[in-house]
Every structure is written in C-alpha cells, then in structure tokens.
Amino acid sequence: MGWWQLNADTLVRSRFVLSPFAETFASLKLLHAGTPAHPGERAWLRDHLPAYRARLAADPTTAQLVRAALGRAWIADFIAPTPKDEETFEEVVARVRSADPAAARAHLTVSLAGPLPPALDRDDLPDRAAALLEHVWTRAVRPYWDRRRRILEADVAARTARVSQGGWAAVLDSLRPGQTRWLGDNRLQVNLGEYPPREISGAELVFMPVTPRTGWVSWEEPDRYALVYACTGALTDPGARRAPAGLGALLGSARAEVLVLLGSPLSTTQLVAVTGQGLGSVGRHLRVLRDAGLVERRRAGRSMLYSRTAAGDVLVDAPL
C-alpha cells in the first residue's frame, strides 16, 4: 500500500479545496473509461461521450497520448498538476501546456511502465494534452460547474462537520473507502499501490472532492500534496437519494428526499442545489421536519447546517 507520514501539525492545517481543474480531469477520466457509476453519470456520458470519441478518432496522436497518460497504476505527472488554492482552470491548464516536452515524455514512460511509443516521441505533447483538457472543460464541465460546485461545497460541509464530531480518522477513512485509511502512528494510507512511503510533515495537505466516481493523489514536492476523492454518492446520484416509496407516501416525495439527504449535515443553499427544489420549498420542508423532531440544526461558522435526528434515522430506515 502507498502511505504518507505526516505530523499532527500537518493534519491540523490540512483543508478541503475545490478545483475546477480537478473536476475536469476527473471528467476526462470518466470519458476515457466510458463506464458510468450511477444514472447521473450515465446521462452525462450519453450527452458528451460521442463528441469526445469523435474528437479522438479525428486525432489519433492525442488518443494515444491520453491512453498512455492515464496509465493503469500511475498518471503521467505533467497532465495532472496539483491545483493551488483559488487557481482557475485556465491557470492550471496553462501549467500543463508549459510543461517541458522532455519531462512529459519521461512521465509517460512511468505511466506506461515501459518504453515510449514512436508516435509519442514528439515535443507537442503538453499542448495536445492542454487542448484536450480545454475541450472537456468547455464542452462537458463548465456548463454544469455552478451546480457541481454547490454539490462539492455540500460534501465539504458534511465532512467538515464530521471532523468536529468524530475526528479526522473517521473522515480520512471515508474519503476513498478501501483506498484511504488512517493507519495510526501518523500514517495516512492513500492507495493500495506498492509505493515507498513519503514523509510530508510540514507540507500543505489538501483534500479535493470531485463529482465523478474516481480519485487520485498528486503532489508538488516538497511543498504541497493533494488527495482527490469522489464526493458522496447521495449528492451526485439522483438514484442514491431517492426516498423509499413508503416514506414518500407518508411525507411527500420532495420532503422525503430532503430527509434522506440529511444523513449528512447540509445547509439550505446546498439542499436547493442538490435537489433542484426552490428555496421556499426547501425552507418549508425543513420547518415541518424540525417541528416533527426529525431534523435538527446547528451553526457551523457562517452556515446553518441541518441533519437528521435519531428519530429521523429510524424513520428513513423503517420498512414502511
């Protein structure tokens, strides 16, 4: 397994960061795989996979490049730089485009775990990679970014609240189940690969949610390390937050959906973004659920977060 050694100060200073570039790269990975994890991804692929495949069919060199860069066990470093705080997509993709061609070729030999194919022994690989990422961002991510950003914010709010309730270990274990795990003794497992441990004490450690069901790690040694993870499925997948029929009959389908989502703390704004319901409707649902003792609220910074009570959990789980 791959793991990072970090001291307590590094963990305490770690934080969640949203990145449009990470969201775009995750979307590129989803397009490359072509396999949806839930109905929401299936619908998105139906709308965008044909154009993506047509673009690669018209540009065999870039098609071979992306296959090589998204290796089975390693991603070519130059195509996935670690985003910085508040860095725009355009700023990060400019770093991809300005990568040293010789370094890009060397990175591909690592992701391929073998020699570079003759067709990729060229100097325009960084520009080709940047152009493909721009295509994915412009056509398939930017039109949805405002809503995706609110979903990501909802995930961060829920996990931040969990830190205060159960500590960092519970949160780290849940980021990428089966991949990430707090091992104790200041060790964070980041994947299942047989890689040498890395000492990252004193560096920046950031966690970046994305909506596609994927994840990876990246770094800019020795200063910044990132763990990219898929945000909770109930936020991204409409099917995962569908209320049981009996609960919908009891409360109404819209109100039941809100109650199901509140297994993790969310604000009113985040519920509006995730459900697509109006602000007034969500507010009324929350008021009724609170009056019934199924939902409680508490302040977290400038946000008011709502979550299910024990009675709400019993109702959601009951075989109605």
Answer whether 245's CB lies under 8 Å from 69's CB. no
Locate all alpha helices (DSSP H) within 252-320, ordered by sequence. Answer: 253-261, 268-275, 279-291, 310-317
- CA–CA separation, 203 and 14 (whole Å): 9
pLDDT of residue 301: 65
**Position 150 confidence tier, pLDDT thresholds 50, 70, 90:** confident
**Confidence category of residue 193, pLDDT binned at 50, 70, 90:** confident
Same domain, 40 and 125: yes
Please check whether residues 26 and 142 belong to one and the same domain: yes
Q: What is the pLDDT of residue 234?
A: 65
Q: Which of 167, 202, 233 is the last residue of a domain?
A: 233
Could you say which of 183, 198, 233 is where a domain stops? Answer: 233
Whether residue 269 sits in one domain with residue 172: no
Question: Residue 243: its pLDDT value, please?
Answer: 77
Co-location of 183 and 105 in the same domain: no
Amino acid at 71: G
Same domain, yes or no: 299 and 260: yes
Block residue for tokens 């990729």: 120
Q: Are residues 200 and 263 part of one domain?
A: no
- The length of the chain is 320
d(CA 74, CA 167): 31
* DSSP label of 266: B
| pLDDT confidence of residue 241 | 63
138 shares a domain with 106 = yes
Band of pLDDT at residue 107, cut at 50, 70 and 90: very high
Diameter of the chain measured on Cα atoms: 68
Q: How many CA atoms lie within 13 A of 220 on its CB side?
A: 12
User: Could you report the per-residue pLDDT of 6-53, keeping only the tens digit for each?
Assistant: 999 999 999 999 999 999 999 999 999 999 988 889 999 999 999 999
The answer to whether residue 216 scores a pLDDT higher than 80 is: yes
CA 210 → CA 151, 230, 274, distances in Å?
A: 9, 5, 14
Residue 200 has pLDDT above 90, yes or no: yes
Average pLDDT in the 169-186 region?
90
pLDDT in tens, 68-94: 999 988 999 999 999 998 899 999 999
- Residue 202 — pLDDT band, cuts 50, 70, 90? very high
Q: Across all residues in the chain, what is the average pLDDT?
A: 91
Q: What is the per-residue pLDDT across 298-318, written as a single tens digit (0 to 9) for each? A: 886 667 889 899 999 999 888
Q: Compute the distance between CA of residue 212 and CA of residue 140 in angstroms, rounded to an integer.
A: 12
Q: How far does CA 201 lie from the centroid of its chain?
A: 24
Does residue 264 surpass a pLDDT of 80? no
Same domain (yes/no): 307, 160: no
* Angstrom distance (rounded) from CA 294 to CA 316: 10
d(CA 67, CA 58): 15
- Label residue 319 exposed, middle or buried (CB < 10 Å: 0-12, 13-18, 19+): exposed
CATH number at residue 297: 1.10.10.10
Binning pLDDT at 50, 70 and 90, where does residue 62 land?
Answer: very high
Same domain, 246 and 302: yes
Burial 221-240 (b: 16+ CB within 10 A, else e): eeebbbbbbbbbebbbbeee
Domain count, the chain: 3
Is the same domain home to 187 and 99? no
Average pLDDT over residues 95-104: 98
| End residue of a domain, out of 233, 265, 289 | 233
Supply the pLDDT for residue 239. 64
Could you list the residue range(s) of the whole structural domain that residue 169 is in?
Answer: 2-17+149-233
The reply to whether 25 and 165 lie within a common domain is no
Closest alpha carbon to 76 in 116, 135, 36: 116
156 and 10 both lie in a single domain? yes
Cα angle 201-210-262, degrees, rounded to a multiple of 5: 100
- Is it the case that residue 257 has pLDDT exceeding 70? yes
Tokens read off for 205: 């450690």
This prediction has a pTM of 0.84
